[in-house]
């Protein structure tokens, strides 16, 4: 209890210090925003930009097996990924369609998507310092299949999933990675005041603690980032207090520590969310008065800032240039090349993917598809940028970015910050290219027939690709400049900032050059008028001076690469502003609804995921249906065998050596060997059976019992006759018999009367009946052991009784032992059929 209270106090202290810094940076960010609004600036892109690309869309949905830590079992869940990239897990698809609350909702910010248990265990084993794991130690979570999917977080709860095939694993892994990528990018660039104020406050707060350089946990929205900021200090303290108190084996210690960490993170997150909302509200209340004062005194504020910058530049530049010359300039070209090569390959792959998709559209148009097929293809093309599987090849190129040898020198924790930023930019450029192509094609098709579709598509494609090359060059150059600044500026601030004097009072030695610490900055506060002191902070002015000292060298390096046309970069002078004013007028038009454009008689277009987008006329039902970006996973055109939310055994019931066999049993069924005489039966399509099947439930409610009768009447035929009788079972219960179906096998059809059949059911010749049942059981056991559904046994069984046996066989691969009587004179017992059916019905009703 004392440890928890101590952690709460630490959290409050961190948030109080951050709140003070945020209020100061809010006024500075407002000043910069108003100044930029008045002075203008910036370049205009050549491609159009879509405002809300994912309206009425969902990303993906399907079934996964989830590991439940409460009972240590795997359970099939229906997973729905909304346009916000939050992951919702439902009991079944029916629960989602009925808009019930999901079992779990996961925000993937800060997570890592893994598909290897070894990689996961490496991260888990490093979570508790001082506790060494054996190389052969087994994980505390045994995967039900050989295709795991894991969401790992340094502080929050981990989530474990698995699928049946490698194809599913690849697609789901791409979807999970896209969820992580999108939710990590939680700070909106459209917020010109709140976002800069928040990011600067976080950076200054970490610098005051001595943490310079990039930060991997700048992930998610402001409350999540603040929770990570608190946990950066709190997590190690709590671990040092609790780690040595954990008892049990290694796996148990790891499990308990993760539960403690997750509980602590949830508590911190609730606190930071409430604190941030209150902080923003208090600042927004003051915004009108601050904005009015800024617009009135903007000229005086700018003049005062320039005066302070001039004085500070004279003091800082000589020392900054020494540091640049000795420790930065020799590495600028190598850092730039390490950034340019994988990033440019990724943007080039975006161009190639876009072109390949348009080639497919043109091919189908040439094959006589016409405008109707064009509408379907354009509907899929419109979401190309948000299709994680199709974009995966682009993302993989930039994931090869490597900064080895530079990370320690410039305090770069990992290149993941730059990788995810480049991937976000790639997706934006792909969507801009697709949206521009849509608008151009829609304009060109007005009043045009089907004869010139290919030429029109080719002209629009050439026009878009040319604009894409210009925008790609502009975006990449901006990305390279920002990345270089993010790497170099923290390094320079760490060695020049007066805040480091207390940490290291000695001067910095760069080779043979000694750079003294700056301790004269506080005197510059006297140069700022008190009325302007909220908008002009000495710390921010100092950072801008350091930034300007580095910017010149960075700009020159990037410009030189563009002049040499390295990696297809263009010079800025080659990019024309407003070169196509007519095109930008199209950007004000709404997005084209290709699903209804060429189908006036059928306004309900069907999306890729199978859901229909009926528009505003569809009412409440249409509002619940969303077109899906990624199609459902199917194996060879057949739905998955576990769509019905079956339960998978827990860890204790899954031997490691049987993982492969288990996966095969959960697929469409085992491969069966058939005789040559069954060629016709082999050609019949097989569909996976579901325990929720209507036929199976009907068969369990009205069970059918098959009885062989060796004595038959001549001249009979197959048929069903209604009867009204009862059968006395072994346990004393009475079962009602409503009809008797006669099936005569062989060339001569012989008929058994219903009266004779009822005599057999009611116990006549019981000893012979038991002998026949035992013989049938032996035949079933032999057939099941040989492994096949279409063996000679199935040919011998009747059509009606086959339905019942299929329902019973769905329970598992065990042989069926349903008898009618309890035993004979020798004391041998046969299982009771009525009791078995009652249990089956109860299980099915529970599942429903």
β 159-162/508-510 pair status: unpaired
Supply the pLDDT for residue 703.
61
Supply the pLDDT for residue 808.
37
Q: Which helix (H) or strand (E) covers residue 764, if one does?
A: none
Contact (CB, 8 A) for 56 and 614? no
What does the DSSP assignment read for 453-484?
Answer: HHHHHHHHHHHHHHHHHHHHHHHHHHHHHHHH
Contact (CB, 8 A) for 751 and 742? yes
Other Cβ atoms within 10 Å of 638 Cβ, number = 13
CA distance 676 to 438: 55
Low-confidence ranges of the chain (pLDDT < 70): 1-10, 41-43, 129-138, 368-370, 447-451, 498-520, 572-590, 595, 598-626, 631-719, 727-735, 742-848
250-323 and 117-125 helices cross at what angle (nearest 10)?
80
CA distance 745 to 798: 9
CA distance 412 to 543: 19
Whose structure tokens read 């007066």?
498
Supply the pLDDT for residue 201.
94
Q: What is the CA radius of gyration of the chain?
A: 35
Neighbouring-strand partners of residue 106: 87
Nearest C-alpha neighbor of 67 from the set 103, 35, 108: 103
CA distances from 536 to 20, 178, 304, 623 (A): 16, 40, 9, 49
Does residue 41 come out as left (phi exceeding 0), alpha (psi in the -120 to 50 range) or beta?
A: left
Other Cβ atoms within 10 Å of 360 Cβ, number = 12
CA distance 211 to 202: 11
In our burial notation (b when 16+ CB lie closer than 10 A, e otherwise), range 304-330 reads bbeebbeebbebbeebbebbbebbbee
Neighbouring-strand partners of residue 113: 151
Contact (CB, 8 A) for 178 and 54? no
CA distance 175 to 387: 8
Nearest C-alpha neighbor of 564 from the set 475, 486, 487, 473: 473
Q: How many residues does the chain have?
A: 848
Provide CB contacts within 8 A for 821, sequence distance 6+. Answer: 730, 763, 766, 769, 770, 773, 830
Supply the pLDDT for residue 54.
84
Q: What is the mean pLDDT of the chain?
A: 74
β 57-68/159-162 pair status: antiparallel
Q: What's the sign of the alpha-carbon dihedral 403, 409, 414, 415?
A: negative
What does the DSSP assignment read for 404-466?
Answer: TTTTTTTT---THHHHHHHHHHHHHHHHHHHHHHHHHHHHHTTT--STTHHHHHHHHHHHHHH
């Amino acid at each position: 209890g004392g440890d928890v209270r101590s952690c709460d106090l630490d959290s409050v202290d961190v948030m109080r210090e951050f709140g003070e810094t945020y209020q100061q940076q809010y006024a500075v960010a407002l000043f910069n925003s108003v100044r930029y609004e008045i002075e203008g600036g910036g370049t205009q892109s050549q491609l159009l930009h879509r405002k809300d690309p994912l309206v009425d869309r969902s990303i993906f949905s399907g079934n996964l097996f989830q590991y439940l830590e409460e009972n240590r079992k795997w359970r099939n869940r229906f997973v729905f990924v909304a346009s916000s990239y939050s992951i919702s897990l439902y009991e079944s698809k029916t629960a989602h369609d009925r808009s019930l609350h999901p079992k779990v909702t996961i925000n993937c910010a800060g997570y890592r998507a893994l598909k290897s248990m070894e990689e996961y265990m490496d991260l888990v084993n490093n979570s508790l310092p001082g506790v060494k794991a054996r190389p052969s130690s087994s994980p505390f979570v045994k995967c039900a299949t050989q295709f795991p999917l894991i969401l790992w977080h340094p502080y929050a709860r981990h989530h474990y999933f698995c699928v049946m095939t490698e194809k599913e694993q690849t697609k789901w892994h791409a979807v999970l990675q896209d969820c992580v990528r999108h939710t990590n990018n939680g700070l909106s660039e459209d917020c010109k005041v709140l976002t800069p104020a928040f990011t600067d406050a976080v950076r200054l707060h970490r610098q005051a603690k001595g943490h310079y350089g990039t930060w991997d946990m700048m992930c998610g929205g402001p409350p999540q980032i603040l929770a990570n900021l608190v946990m950066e200090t709190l997590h190690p303290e709590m671990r040092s207090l609790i780690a040595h108190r954990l008892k049990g084996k290694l796996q148990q210690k790891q499990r308990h520590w993760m539960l403690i960490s997750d509980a602590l993170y949830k508590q911190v997150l609730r606190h930071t969310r409430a604190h941030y909302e209150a902080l923003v509200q208090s600042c927004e209340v003051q915004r009108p008065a601050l904005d009015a004062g800024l617009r009135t005194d903007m000229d005086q504020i700018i003049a005062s800032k320039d005066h302070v910058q001039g004085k500070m530049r004279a003091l800082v530049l000589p020392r900054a240039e020494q540091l640049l010359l000795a420790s930065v300039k020799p590495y600028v070209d190598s850092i730039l090349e390490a950034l340019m090569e994988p990033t440019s390959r990724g943007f080039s792959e975006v161009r190639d993917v876009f072109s390949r998709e348009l080639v497919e559209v043109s091919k189908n148009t040439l094959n006589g598809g016409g405008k109707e097929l064009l509408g379907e293809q354009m509907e899929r093309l419109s979401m190309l940028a948000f299709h994680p599987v199709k974009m995966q090849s682009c993302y993989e190129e930039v994931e090869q970015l490597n900064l080895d040898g530079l990370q320690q020198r410039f305090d770069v924790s990992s290149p993941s910050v730059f990788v995810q930023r480049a991937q976000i930019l790639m997706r934006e450029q792909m969507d801009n290219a697709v949206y521009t192509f849509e608008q151009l094609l829609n304009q060109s098709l007005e009043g045009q027939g089907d004869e010139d579709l290919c030429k029109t598509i080719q002209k629009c494609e050439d026009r878009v690709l040319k604009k894409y090359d210009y925008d790609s060059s502009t975006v990449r150059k901006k990305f390279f400049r920002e990345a270089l600044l993010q790497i170099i500026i923290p390094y320079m601030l760490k060695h020049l900032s007066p805040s480091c004097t207390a940490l290291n009072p000695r001067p910095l030695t760069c080779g043979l050059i000694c750079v003294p610490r700056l301790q004269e900055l506080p005197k510059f506060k006297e140069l700022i008028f008190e009325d302007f002191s909220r908008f002009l902070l000495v710390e921010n002015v100092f950072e801008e001076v350091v930034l300007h000292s580095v910017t010149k060298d960075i700009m020159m390096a990037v410009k030189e690469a563009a002049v040499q046309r390295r990696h297809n970069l263009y010079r800025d002078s080659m990019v024309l502003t407003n070169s196509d004013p007519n095109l930008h007028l199209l950007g004000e038009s709404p997005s084209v609804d290709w699903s209804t454009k060429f189908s006036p008689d059928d306004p309900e277009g069907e999306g890729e995921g199978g859901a229909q987008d009926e528009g505003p006329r569809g009412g409440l039902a249409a509002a619940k249906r969303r077109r899906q970006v990624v199609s459902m996973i199917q194996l060879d055109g057949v739905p998955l065998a576990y769509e019905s939310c079956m339960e998978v055994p827990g860890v204790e019931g899954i031997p490691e050596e049987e993982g492969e066999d288990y996966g095969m049993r959960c697929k469409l069924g085992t491969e069966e060997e058939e005789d040559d005489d069954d060629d016709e039966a082999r050609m019949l399509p097989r569909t996976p059976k579901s325990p929720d099947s209507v036929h199976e439930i009907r068969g369990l409610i009205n069970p059918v019992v098959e009885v062989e009768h060796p004595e038959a009447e001549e001249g009979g035929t197959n048929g069903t006759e209604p009867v009204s009788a009862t059968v006395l079972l072994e346990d004393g219960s009475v079962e009602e018999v409503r009809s008797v179906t006669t099936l005569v096998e062989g060339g001569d059809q012989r008929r058994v009367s219903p009266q004779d059949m009822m005599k057999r059911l009611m116990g006549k010749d019981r000893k012979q009946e038991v002998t026949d049942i035992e013989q049938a059981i032996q035949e079933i056991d032999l057939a099941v052991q040989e492994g096949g559904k279409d063996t000679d046994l199935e040919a011998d069984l009747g059509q009606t009784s086959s339905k019942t046996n299929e329902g019973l066989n769905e329970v598992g691969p065990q042989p069926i032992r349903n008898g009618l009587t309890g035993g004979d004179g020798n004391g041998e017992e046969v299982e009771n059929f009525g009791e078995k059916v009652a249990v089956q019905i109860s299980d099915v009703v529970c599942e429903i």
